[in-house]
Chains A and B, each alone.
Chain A
Amino acid sequence: MDDLSARPHPDAPLLRPIERPARNFYLIVGILLAIILYTGFVYLRQILFGLGVTGMAQPVTWGFYIINFVFFIGISHAGTLISAILRLSKAEWRRPITRMAEVITAIVLAIGGLHPIIDLGRPDRMSHLFFNGRLQSPLLWDITSITAYFTASTVYLYIPLIPDIAILRDRGVKPRWLYEFLSWGWQGTERQHKVLDRAMNILMVIVIPIAISVHTIISYIFAMTVQPGWHSTIFGPYFVVGAIFSGIAAILVLMIVFRKIFRLEGYLKHVHFNYLSILLLIMSLLWFYFTFSEYLTGYYGHEPNEMRVFWYKFTGDFAPYFWTMIFCNFFLPVLLLCNRKTRTIPGILIASISVIIGMWLERLIIVVPSLANPRLPYPTGIYIPTHTEWMLFIGGISVFVLGYMIFARFFPVISIWEIEEGRKESAKIVTERISSYMPDIKPTSAGE
């Protein structure tokens, strides 16, 4: 096989980060590794001295770790779920977006899934789950559903990546053995395409219920208890909506960053941002509707314990966080995205970052106030996260950035073969589809 790396490729901008990585790539990797190493040291300290090094104490026994667990798993809905929905609905504009989204899922799920273990003072006791686990516990449902989602997402990311890996293999990109190994002899034959399409169709269908089940089950960790503020029947869909909402915001931020760094203006066009930001706007309205319903029913019931949590959020210690959340998740995105003049890339970036912050605050507001105001006659709890918890949060974000950078160093973040396929076939497919559902034109006389 001849070396094709010197030959120009029609999608050269997508191969540039792999064939000619930027000089500051290793510098950024070094900085991130230093942060991760320090985070590792902080975690080791937590294992040695126990959870006393955190701000968690009775009655607030869940803090940053569980907040970040729910937050990261929520972000993971960006990828596989949205990608599967766009593929199933045959949205042609999906082509440059899907892979970016799928990578988010795979990396963020791995980080989020580790947080319940970090939350354990004795992580070695995780082994009890394997030998003496109780399926009655929503925590075990969580492990099962997250493992299934992680596996499905990784498979769903990998399978459509195969033709692009083969492009890198044929261009002689190093490490060649890796591309040879991962491409499974892909040559783009008709039969190979059929196999790939069939597998992706199966995955698309099974990935959607798995993704929805994951965040529903996470909500059950809260809703299956009788804690005030948690025992709610709408927590499942409320969590799913919030997860998709934060996920779309995360994709938009990443798309804007990659567009800028890798100069992908030709691939990530304004139309992509426009469509996704409209989706973000819809999710913002839906999120507000769920939040309104959730608090209105609680307020109307006026159950004393419920009301303690309610006022703690609305006017008490957590009021600044609560109202910031409402501003970040609803007022600012709606204000920016409703108006065509502000629905520009900088406007979308501000709205997306605002949503990510707002959704993190939402997790904080769900987890802490209910624990701080339990049904038992405890004085109101206080939770102030320590350096350890902040560091593990920063470490988690660093692992995400590092993971994404490493992926982008070895694989194209935009699917090359799907773009090629789109150029060749999209227009024809869309025309056929439109003509299939448009009413036929039959010449009729005036008398008929």
Chain B
Amino acid sequence: MSKKTIEGLQIVSISLIWVLFTGIAIWVFNLIKVSLELHDAPDASVAISIVAILIFLVLASVLTYVFIGLRKGRNEDKET
């Protein structure tokens, strides 16, 4: 497999991580919406959801930071 294909796959994988985590966030928002519409413990729902969304966002950000950081770190080393 060529280097370009592998790089392409790596970019696709970062995008997929964000698609997955955005999907989870949208799902949780939908649950909040349902709980508000049905007056179904909205306070607890909102509290739990905010924590859950935040965790997924942090995880996606850490992964993106690592992937971009490692690539930049490699390039920087080449330049010096």
Which A positions have Cβ atoms within 8 angstroms of B? Answer: 130-136, 140-141, 144-145, 147-148, 151-152, 155, 159, 162, 177, 180-181, 184-187, 189-192, 194-196, 198-199, 202-203, 206, 210
Contacts and interface: CB of A to CB of B under 8 A. Distances in A.
A141 B34 CA distance: 15
Given A132-B34, A136-B44, A152 B55 contact: yes
8 contacts: A145-B52, A151-B56, A159-B62, A159-B66, A184-B67, A185-B70, A192-B73, A206-B58
Contacts of A130: 27
A184 B9 CA distance: 11
A191 B49 contact: no
B51 to A, nearest CB: 9
Contacts, number: 102
B35 A191 contact: no
Given A133-B31, A186-B70, A192-B73, A148 B62 contact: no
Given A148-B55, A189-B73, A136 B67 contact: no
Given A136-B40, A141-B48, A144-B52, A185 B62 contact: no
Nearest to A166: B70
A140 to B, nearest CB: 7
A10 B13 CA distance: 33
B16 interface: no
A136 B45 contact: yes
Contact of A181 (B10, B30, B62): B10
A328 B27 CA distance: 43
B35 A136 contact: yes
Interface residues of B, number: 38
Nearest to A133: B31
Given A134-B31, A196-B70, 8 more contacts: A136-B40, A148-B52, A181-B10, A184-B71, A189-B76, A190-B73, A191-B73, A192-B69
A180 B49 CA distance: 37
A153 to B, nearest CB: 10
A192 B78 CA distance: 13
A135 B73 CA distance: 42
| Secondary structure class of chain B's binding surface, majority of residues | helix
B66 A196 contact: yes
A192 B40 contact: no
B19 interface: no
Contacts of A189: 73-74, 76-77
Interface string B1-40: 1010010011000000000000010011011101100101
A134 B70 contact: no
Interface of B: 1, 3, 6, 9-10, 24, 27-28, 30-32, 34-35, 38, 40-41, 44-45, 48-49, 52, 55-56, 58-59, 62-63, 65-67, 69-74, 76-77
A39 to B, nearest CB: 28
Contacts of A203: 62
Contacts of B70: 162, 184-186, 192, 195-196
Contacts of B32: 135
Given A148-B52, A199-B62, A191 B72 contact: yes
Contacts of A181: 1, 6, 9-10
Contacts of A133: 31, 34
A143 to B, nearest CB: 10
Contacts of B67: 184
A152 B76 CA distance: 29
Contacts of B9: 181
B44 to A, nearest CB: 7
Contacts of B27: 130
A284 B58 CA distance: 35
A94 to B, nearest CB: 21
Contacts of B74: 185-187, 189, 192
Contacts of A148: 52, 55-56, 59
Contact of A135 (B41, B59, B71, B77): B41
Contacts of A199: 62, 65-66, 69
